[in-house]
Structure 1
Amino acid sequence: MKTVYLANEIIHSFLPIDERKVQNNWNAVRSSFTHKIIVLDDDPTGVQTVHGISVYTDWDEDTIEQGFREEGQMFFILTNSRAFTSKETEQVHRDIAQRVENISAKLGKPYLIISRGDSTLRGHYPLETEVLRSTIEENSGSKVDGEVILPFFKEGGRLTVDNTHFVQQGDVLVPAGNTEFAKDRTFGYSKSHLGEWIEEKTKGTYRKEDVTYISLTTLRSLDYEEIVRQLLQVNNFGKVVVNAIEEADVRIFTTALLHAILKGKRFIFRTAAAFTKVVGDISSRPLLSREELISEGNDNGGLIIVGSHVQKTTDQLNELKTLSSLHFIEFDAHLVLNKEAFKAEVERVRLEAERKVGAGITTVIFTKRERLDLGVGMEEQELKLSVEISDAVTSIVRNFSVRPNYLIAKGGITSSDVGTKGLCVKRATVAGQIAPGIPVWKTGEESTFPHIPYVIFPGNVGAITTLRDVVVTLESK
């Protein structure tokens, strides 16, 4: 197999899709599917593909019941578990699964649960879905037949071909295991073939030979019967890997999946954002404009928080610095090792940012670009320090005395913490995307700044110019 592919070469090497036929087949089964769809998001970027959907930032029993009782079929729970320790993640997912199962039984409403993970394969896998499975089985008395792995996310250039997951870089598709994301200090991996990745992450509990693979050839042949047959044979929490290079591939698979579910099969899902849009039957909509987001009458500047340390974010930050109208403040996060100096640094940054935003100047607060490195074997300690740093950044937002015109947070964990601990959002509505893969919340009445447009910018999405382009859109009058 080739190490890399040209993206266009791959897309044009498979049978074209008859979109009309795919849509007709989808429509024929979708109306019969009435399960409540619950998406557990390990950071807030999982709403990238949806709009008009509620996002809840806690998982109390009353909150989950509110989601079940909503008129809409789908709701998100933001766990932000990628910032958690393994122990914390296990407890959160056990609590959620138990409450979901209880409320489902109470209301007589079946459900489908999705663990929305990173399209570059980072996160607490297989821990999260294993805990969901065991808790659901303990509380329901029924078995979960399988787990669907579907990390395809076209907007971010994440394609799965020949069972191998790729990340698009320019015109080239690079195997995910050869990217910087695979070198993540907490969630690293080495395999790009998803069967091998499953074997690696489960430490051999599930072997690549035992994985069920849904091929692009089968999908493009519209062989629904074959896909249903494959799904009906899955048991004992067997793994199902879905290849996809276009959203229509996901729709073809999901059509067959719903037939299998209606025949009694039960699955848990570990997917990126594309699957949530398709299974939730969410329509596409144009990118959001400034006029849809910014209310006239507020002459203050915007506030931009940059926390992600992936190279793409640093490159995007450097490109943003070419906008001379913005003010930039570096936050020295390494001072976290000196508590008094760190406290003083937080105060300095907040006061300077307040002055500038109040004067109508959009201000960018960015953390020191060098990652704090405590050495080998110190990953859990580094994670705890990163939480302290994130808490400090979010306190700047929470205590901010000036209402910004808009707020952008760069990075998955950063944007989650800014949303929940800084803006104190309990429930938000997803407005849509301001750029491909970049969602916007409208904050709830209870938040620090009610009804503010909050742009959630993943660390690993967009071209070098995308952050700059988003800011230009919001600044243009």
Structure 2
Amino acid sequence: MRTDRRLLVLDDDPTGSQCVADVDIVLDADPATAAAALAEPGSTCFVLTNTRALDEADAVALNRRILEGVIAAGVDPATLHVVSRSDSTLRGHVIAEPAALAAVLAEHGRDVDAILLCPAMIEAGRFTRDGVHYATVDGEAIEVGATDFARDATFGYASSDLAAFLAERSGGNIREADVLRVTLEDIRTGGVDAVAGILGAARDAQWAVIDATEYTDMEVVAQAVARLEQQGRTILTRCAPSFVRPLAGQSGARVLADEDIPVGGADRLPHGLVVVGSHVGLTTQQLAVVQERSGLVEVELAVSGLLDEARRESVIVETARRIREALQASDVVLYTSRELVRTDDPAASLAIARTVSDAVVDVVSRVRDARPAWVVAKGGITSHEVAEHGLGIVRARVAGQFYAGQISLFTPVEAPDEVLGMPYVVFPGNVGGREALADVVARLAAATASRTADPAAAEPAVVDPAAERARHV
């Protein structure tokens, strides 16, 4: 990898850092914060845009503003590799966001030669073979177009072949025949030379789809990308979490041991809060297991009441009151009612999701000064909104994951006083087995109990962002 290269990851929800550790996470809308995080050569910074919760025009505008702002703040675009990080099940503004970023780079003298699409997330069983993307559901690999993910109310699609998917999502503006393909044979037989040859032929922001069924495949591709960048080529990436790891020059997973979970502190309650907003089927199953196993106090936020403008404020106030009271004696789970309110209009469906998300954030903001020991947020949109607006986190550091490549723990670095020292767990809506959420909660509860029993171990470590960055570099 180039020693001066900086990896700017614009993440459309907060789950993209699941496969890396010791990197900065920025939630601040001011691009100067991200530019500061990229001050050191070799650094990686995730900017959580939450654009999967926005309509396309707003998503494009935000992507443009952040990248333009980072460059204006002094980061040389010649040293940047820009990643548009999104979903391993192909949801999100797949075409529009990379196109906007490519346009900004072109405006600063960096014409993009290739846009890579690499949606593999190995840990969650999402992989690409022969150009076809698969998701593992109940232990069986299924073409992603046949899964529930493809029937998303806002970002639905039909094609599992990635080149055909790009043609479908672009409304025919991208021709399937024009999409380059990097196959497993190219990667495993031809190696870096073959992959660099294929990608080196790309011109004018040409799309290329990447096969990957294991990390070694993506490592070869990352090496080919680095070679091309050393030759002056400009490559932009649209990918799921796994490919970020080799692009960032990291290998292996950092799985948290119990002693790595920094819960506790004399000024904190001995109990934590779980916030569940995602409505994917797996989340509902995981919530049911938590309810069966944990003994948490359950607080339901009724969606029907939130959509009634006359009742909304009273529903929020009462929900916050119940949580604050329950946290004094127990861990608490806040969840939105499981009935999914939707319409045939994607914009209306997105507006409903926005209303519910805003209410969840409002509740969390009203209870954070109770100082829970920890917070877990379940669901991509939920975890972004809770972090930024509910808890007021401006910048955090990825401490590691609960499982290899899945479920990150953030350590707040810039946040309100009542949030500093409180671990924040980002739990995507569509990963993990049925028991995963209950297992994470059990580990947090056990760590809290252990720290409470041993006050000397309860003081959380103070994170010095500059020292941590220097150690990582």
TM-score (norm 1): 0.89
* 1:134 and 2:111 are equivalent in the alignment: no
* 1:474 and 2:441 are equivalent in the alignment: no
Contact 1:289 1:473 in 2 (8 A): no
Contact 1:149 1:240 in 2 (8 A): yes
Q: Which residue is 2:79 aligned to?
A: 110
Q: Which residue is 2:24 aligned to?
A: 54
Aligned equivalent of 2:408, options 439, 458, 464: 439
Q: Which amino acid letter does the alignment assign opposite residue 313 of structure 1?
A: T
- Aligned partners of 2:206 and 2:32: how far apart in 1? 33
Deviation at 1:340, TM superposition (A): 2.7
Q: Which residue is 1:358 aligned to?
A: 328
Aligned equivalent of 1:214, options 182, 187, 212: 182
- Aligned partners of 1:162 and 1:86: how far apart in 2? 30
Q: Which residue is 1:427 aligned to?
A: 395
Q: Which residue is 2:232 aligned to?
A: 264
- Aligned partners of 1:419 and 1:355: how far apart in 2? 22
Q: Deviations over 1:45-104 (max 9, x none)?
A: 001011111111124242232122146511111101111122211211121222233345
Contact 1:303 1:363 in 2 (8 A): yes
Deviation at 1:33, TM superposition (A): 4.5
Q: Deviations over 1:139-182 (max 9, x none)?
A: 21342111000001111111101110000123310111111110
* 1:333 and 2:275 are equivalent in the alignment: no
Aligned equivalent of 2:364, options 373, 383, 397: 397
Of stretches 324-333 and 278-287 in structure 1, the one that deviates more from structure 2 is 278-287
Q: Which runs of 4+ in 1 moved over 6 A?
A: none
* 1:170 and 2:156 are equivalent in the alignment: no
- Aligned partners of 1:173 and 1:125: how far apart in 2? 23
- Aligned partners of 1:150 and 1:324: how far apart in 2? 37
Q: Which residue is 1:26 aligned to?
A: none
- Aligned partners of 2:27 and 2:79: how far apart in 1? 22
Q: Which residue is 2:220 aligned to?
A: 252
Aligned equivalent of 1:43, options 13, 31, 37: 13
Q: Deviations over 1:215-252 (max 9, x none)?
A: 11121125322211111110121111110011111001
- Aligned partners of 1:402 and 1:97: how far apart in 2? 37
Deviation at 1:326, TM superposition (A): 1.1
- Aligned partners of 1:382 and 1:173: how far apart in 2? 29
Unaligned runs of 5+ in 1: 1-29
- Aligned partners of 1:445 and 1:166: how far apart in 2? 38
Q: Which residue is 1:236 aligned to?
A: 204
- Aligned partners of 1:397 and 1:262: how far apart in 2? 46
TM-score (norm 2): 0.90
- Aligned partners of 2:239 and 2:253: how far apart in 1? 22
Q: Equivalent pairs: percent with the same residue? A: 31
Q: Which amino acid letter does the alignment assign opposite residue 394 of structure 1?
A: V
- Aligned partners of 2:77 and 2:352: how far apart in 1? 43
Deviation at 1:444, TM superposition (A): 2.4
Aligned equivalent of 1:287, options 239, 248, 255: 255
- Aligned partners of 2:422 and 2:265: how far apart in 1? 12
SS of residue matched to 1:442: strand
- Aligned partners of 2:317 and 2:403: how far apart in 1? 33
- Aligned partners of 1:204 and 1:33: how far apart in 2? 39
Aligned equivalent of 2:68, options 92, 95, 98: 98
- Aligned partners of 1:445 and 1:238: how far apart in 2? 39
Q: Which amino acid letter does the alignment assign opposite residue 170 of structure 1?
A: D
Unaligned runs of 5+ in 2: 451-473
Aligned equivalent of 1:146, options 114, 133, 138: 114
Deviation at 1:358, TM superposition (A): 1.5
Contact 1:445 1:451 in 2 (8 A): no
SS of residue matched to 1:52: coil
Q: Which residue is 2:93 aligned to?
A: 124
Q: Which residue is 1:23 aligned to?
A: none
- Aligned partners of 2:258 and 2:39: how far apart in 1? 33
